[in-house]
Structure 1
Amino acid sequence: MSRHVTEKVEQLVAPILEKDGFELVEVEYKKEGQNWFLRIFMDHEDKPIDLDDCSRISEQVSDILDREDPIPGAYILEVSSPGAERPLKKQTDFERAIGKNVHVSTYEPIEGKKAFEGLLELVETDHISVNDNGHVIQIPRSKIAKARLAIVF
């Protein structure tokens, strides 16, 4: 059910964000404790997301969700930036991350490991290449469980 909800919300919300120059990064719908949360993560190519952006978009999203009512029952709506460790999901996310540090976890081990962190060197349709401490590892896209930007301290 949550996948159906996120897909429907994505269809409703993406045009609102795009109209204001924002990109829909991710929609998350999950239960935490007694409450359901609908989280909308957005980004902007030219500027950081601020509280005014989140508030304005939240009002617009809330209006369309009230009208279309794609979610049965009560939920808490949160609209925010994906943060510094932005998830990488779409092809364009990966392409923009070339030359940046990433963290990738896989469904199954590759060369004995399921977690990789390093410089994203190459993005192809079927795999990515991560330089993990001087060792370049090719990770098939089909085996990526999660990928995100990584902060290096």
Structure 2
Amino acid sequence: MSKREDYESRTEELLAPIAEVSQVEIYDVEYVKEGSDYYLRAYIDKPEGVNILDCENVSRALSEALDKADFIPDAYILEVSSPGLGRTLKKDKHLQKSIGEEVEIKLFKPIDKCKEFSGILDRFDADTVTITEEGTPRTFARADIALIRLALDF
């Protein structure tokens, strides 16, 4: 397990009881370096959507828990937020909740000179993701997918 994965896993363990008390679910936790700064981001959600008070309460409680556990030696910026409307679907649980929703898929390498596809998420397994584009099913190898996110319709 990498340092990043360890920090994310341990943070998620600390966050679990906080999320339960706050009546939110953990959508994702990520530890990333952007420029010269490290960020520890916790994304929370609930059916009716999270508000600023939810984020503030979870952030305070998580900050205290992280200070006590003190397992991240680097200086980092803690952010707690909603995953947003055009949320990235990284985990199987994200894909499962999004079956029947319109998604956008971006590939690492083009297929027929195209790297971006959109359609209704039909199904997925360990190796593939299938969407329906204008009535036609299209299956992609998960290894070829750079990004899957919910489509935004304005």
TM-score for the superposition, normalised by structure 2: 0.84
Counterpart of 2:118 in structure 1 is 117
Cα deviation digits, residues 42-88 of structure 1 (max 9, x gap): 111x3210010000000110011001012112111110000001121
Runs (5+) with no aligned partner, structure 1: none
* Counterparts of 2:35 and 2:141, CA distance in 1: 35
Following superposition, the deviation at residue 125 of structure 1 comes to: 4.5
Alignment pair present for 1:106 and 2:107: yes
Cα 1:31/1:123, change in 2 over 3 Å? closer
Q: Are the aligned partners of 2:22 and 2:54 in contact in 1 as well (CA < 8 Å)?
A: no
Alignment pair present for 1:12 and 2:17: no
Q: Are the aligned partners of 1:101 and 1:152 in contact in 2 as well (CA < 8 Å)?
A: no
Runs (5+) with no aligned partner, structure 2: none
Cα 1:17/1:124, change in 2 over 3 Å? same
Aligned alpha-carbon RMSD (Å): 2.1
Q: Percent identity?
A: 38
Cα deviation digits, residues 87-109 of structure 1 (max 9, x gap): 21222321221221111223444
* Counterparts of 2:113 and 2:21, CA distance in 1: 45
Cα 1:43/1:112, change in 2 over 3 Å? same
Number of positions where the alignment pairs a residue of Structure 1 with one of Structure 2 = 152
Counterpart of 2:80 in structure 1 is 79
Following superposition, the deviation at residue 23 of structure 1 comes to: 1.6
Q: Are the aligned partners of 1:102 and 1:119 in contact in 2 as well (CA < 8 Å)?
A: yes
